[in-house]
Structure 1
Amino acid sequence: MKIAFLLHNAYGIGGTIRTTMNLAAALADRHDVEIVSMMRHRETPRFALDPRVRLIPLVDTRPEGGDTENPLFHQASRDFPAAEKRFHQYNRLIDTRVAEYLRGCAADVIIGTRPGVNVYLSRFAPRRALRIAQEHLRYEAHSKKLRAQLAPHYRALDAVVTTTEADAAVYRARMPMPGVRTLAIPNSVPEPAVAPSEGTAPVIAAAGRLVPGKRFDLLIDAFAEVAAEYPDWRLRIYGGGAERERLAERIERLGLSGSAKLMGSRSPIEAEFAKASLVAVASDAESFGMTIVEAMRCGVPVVSTDCPLGPGEIIRDGVTGRLVPTGDKRALASALMDLIADAPGRRAMGAAALESSRAYDPAPIARRYDQLFAELEANRFARSWERGRATVRRRLGRLARRFGVSPVRRAPAASGKASA
């Protein structure tokens, strides 16, 4: 079977890029796999790509690449949804190249990995292929306008895959898609190439984009309480982003310059997590929680806010980590200090986290995708029939509303019992 992934930019750093490459490598054990990058801004990807997986960039944004001289490069996209936050990075040249690729694509399965790219998938991919949209962001993270733009395109696909059961339930309730399989399959995280943490270093690690939603400000405030009780412990925050200067000023203002540091981006991050005894996540929301699994794969327990949607599905509170209320600085500090004070319990929790993290091995996740492909192929006709019936009902409903006629409702089936 030939499988193609559509990725925004395979040459950057991010959870979607890493998990796509992980899944592509696992599927390459049994299939012919390629990743199609909408754009390319550097010579080689930042993440190591399995040599069995082909990488196809569509538009080269480097000055020496030549595509920036194409007049279409400077025209706004007409096919990428305008409400998608990456819209400003798209143009008519990408529209044209992706349409050409998809119309001539020989893949049996084509998987999109972000909302706007999934619209390309719906518009241009051949109907003979299984067309699957992955959602790496929460439903609620999309604006109302974007959800309205996505709905008609998603209803034309074969499946929508979220990273959590909670988000799949939201899609089923809020964006009904007859004939479209809506389900959750978590991201995969391979076993790291480093030894697990010994759980003895006085280090708390955290990682992610330095943006408001990750709430590193809350973590720094909580660590100020930790440092007052345990001055030998250190906080290391890995990542880059717009909040770096503000966070640095906060560290300085709280007198934490000697114990809390912004370390910049690291890839792979597991080598840094393995040097820590705890990992902290203070986010207001997480669509999945890649850093949580990455830390657990290093045998490090995670103290995380119990934010929507991912942490509560990954962490068993009190067993593989701790969950605390979102936005609660004192609860976060207290949970960290509880584990700092209990070294044997901390190490036992790390061992449990390591064992639990094996559920995210790429091989079983790839098998779940193989099962999905087989199921979608087997019930293709039934799903098409279901979609067609739903389309007819919607059209009849619109006609009825237009002419002020109450829609005819089917009488309930007889129960087979006589009334008393």
Structure 2
Amino acid sequence: MKSICLVKDDLSIFGGREKILSVMANALCEDYCVHVVGLWNSLRTPPYFPFDERVHCFQILDHNARVREALTKTISPLHRYLKEQKIDVALSVGVNTNAYLLAAAAGTKVKTICCEHSNLQNSYYGWFGHLNQWLSARFADKIVTLTKQDQAAYRKKFHLGEERVDYNYNCIDPAWLKGKKPYDATSKKLLSVGRFDPVKGYPLLVDVAKRVLTDHPDWQWHIYGDGEEFSTVQEKIRAQGLEKQLLLKGAVKSMEEIYPQYAAVVLTSYHEGLPMVLLEAKANGLPIVSFDCATGPREIVRDGVDGYLVPVGDVEGMSKRLAQLMESISLRRAFSEKCEESLYLFQREKVMEKWSIIIDSVCAQ
């Protein structure tokens, strides 16, 4: 049985990358000996999302670390771990882990796969993120993006052959598809989920909410998540007088029982990879209204069929589309009925089958 290792900077936080890493690890342990390594631990807590008991977890630092400390204190322990555990293939989950993994794997027989969990155009990465993208193009055995759009972007920018860059979608946790509850078209609540980072566009969300909630006083909009912009968004909500309709619900570990309570999911991000919130929305039959950002929404949402795509930053356009959904129960029901048609693309069996092909092909190089 081949040994693989998934490497992530921080396993303690709540986010889409952390969630999909746990889903991947738990699924891949059916066919591989799976290891998961966290480089540092900003919250000083166990991993936020649970792992199968067959997954071997290893934490290098027990505290948060800046880039300089992380580079000096994690690469050598990771190098030893990869060698001692006889890892065949190691995957960096998110580009900011690329430098650590590629340096740690140097001088070993470990094959490396760098997994892009946002996109090549993400302006919020900064210099270190873009350096990591270059490093993956220069040194990794393979790059795996989340979308066809980003796969093409990597090949074009770095002049890479087809064998160096592949794509694979995130999968929907099978738990979301078991015991699925019927869509409640009578709900009058909107849902947004994600960390309070600048890339998520939550200040713009408040601007949209001001327009649609003022005209629909019987509706509410709930946001689940936490992060650096939480207090900033909270203050803007107060300034707009929306405290009774736009509610911040904090981070919740299990959202399975949350989604069925809502009428639609809204995404206001400037950039994404393949947003888990939209996959979870589709799994629950929820219509979606999303900015058509790079990348992901366009490969999940069929505009005018099971949701709406709006140009990034178009507050008026998003407000108009949301109002259409909020004012038509028949439209919400029609969109919900169409959600299931493309779910097969994101089912665990299909996604994990492709991961096995990718991992085995890298081993054979």
Query: Do both proteins adopt the same fold according to a TM-score greater than 0.5, normalized to the shorter chain?
Result: yes
What residue is the counterpart of 1:138 in the other structure? 119
**Bigger CA drift: 35-44 or 160-169?**
35-44
What residue is the counterpart of 1:362 in the other structure? 348
Candidates 292, 311, 315, aligned match of 1:325: 311
Candidates 277, 290, 301, aligned match of 1:315: 301
What residue is the counterpart of 1:391 in the other structure? none
Matches within 5 A, 1:21-420: 21-40=22-41, 41-61=43-63, 87=67, 90-125=70-105, 127-141=108-122, 142-143=125-126, 146-148=129-131, 150-152=133-135, 154-177=137-160, 181-191=164-174, 192=176, 195-196=180-181, 197-378=183-364, 380=365
**Bigger CA drift: 171-180 or 346-355?**
171-180
Q: CA deviation at 1:134?
A: 0.5
Q: CA deviation at 1:88?
A: 5.4
Q: CA deviation at 1:43?
A: 4.4
TM-score, structure 2 as length reference: 0.90
Q: What are the superposed Cα offsets for residues 205-262 of structure 1, whole Å, 9 maximum, x if unpaired?
A: 1111223321222222222222233210101111112222232222223222221111
- Which amino acid letter does the alignment assign opposite residue 195 of structure 1? K
RMSD across aligned positions (CA): 2.3
Once residues 209 and 300 of structure 2 are traced to their aligned partners in structure 1, the CA distance between those partners, rounded to angstroms, is: 23
Distance change in 2, residues 1:53/1:163 (3 Å): same
Once residues 276 and 69 of structure 2 are traced to their aligned partners in structure 1, the CA distance between those partners, rounded to angstroms, is: 25
- Which amino acid letter does the alignment assign opposite residue 5 of structure 2? A
Once residues 338 and 217 of structure 2 are traced to their aligned partners in structure 1, the CA distance between those partners, rounded to angstroms, is: 28
Distance change in 2, residues 1:285/1:105 (3 Å): same
Once residues 246 and 135 of structure 2 are traced to their aligned partners in structure 1, the CA distance between those partners, rounded to angstroms, is: 48
Cα contact 2:155–2:162 (8 A) shared by 1: no
Once residues 28 and 266 of structure 2 are traced to their aligned partners in structure 1, the CA distance between those partners, rounded to angstroms, is: 32
| Structure 2 unmatched ranges of 5 or more | none
Q: What are the superposed Cα offsets for residues 385-407 of structure 1, whole Å, 9 maximum, x if unpaired?
A: xxxxxxxxxxxxxxxxxxxxxxx
Distance change in 2, residues 1:152/1:309 (3 Å): closer
Q: What are the superposed Cα offsets for residues 165-219 of structure 1, whole Å, 9 maximum, x if unpaired?
A: 1111111111234686201111122132663342321000111122332122222
What residue is the counterpart of 2:3 in the other structure? 2
Q: CA deviation at 1:96?
A: 2.3
Q: CA deviation at 1:345?
A: 2.2
% of aligned pairs identical? 27
Once residues 327 and 2 of structure 1 are traced to their aligned partners in structure 2, the CA distance between those partners, rounded to angstroms, is: 44
TM-score, structure 1 as length reference: 0.79
Q: What are the superposed Cα offsets for residues 128-148 of structure 1, whole Å, 9 maximum, x if unpaired?
A: 333111111221224466535
What residue is the counterpart of 1:405 in the other structure? none
Distance change in 2, residues 1:60/1:300 (3 Å): same
Cα contact 2:89–2:363 (8 A) shared by 1: no
Once residues 162 and 184 of structure 2 are traced to their aligned partners in structure 1, the CA distance between those partners, rounded to angstroms, is: 49
Partner of 2:87: helix, strand, or coil? Answer: coil
Cα contact 1:155–1:180 (8 A) shared by 2: no
Q: What are the superposed Cα offsets for residues 110-154 of structure 1, whole Å, 9 maximum, x if unpaired?
A: 111133422233233265333111111221224466535653554
Cα contact 1:130–1:373 (8 A) shared by 2: no
**Bigger CA drift: 192-201 or 311-320?**
192-201
Once residues 273 and 5 of structure 1 are traced to their aligned partners in structure 2, the CA distance between those partners, rounded to angstroms, is: 29
Cα contact 2:136–2:143 (8 A) shared by 1: no
Cα contact 1:123–1:153 (8 A) shared by 2: no
Once residues 88 and 197 of structure 2 are traced to their aligned partners in structure 1, the CA distance between those partners, rounded to angstroms, is: 38
Cα contact 2:96–2:132 (8 A) shared by 1: no
Q: What are the superposed Cα offsets for residues 307-356 of structure 1, whole Å, 9 maximum, x if unpaired?
A: 11111111111112111111111111111111112212212212322443
Partner of 1:90: helix, strand, or coil? Answer: helix
Distance change in 2, residues 1:116/1:332 (3 Å): closer
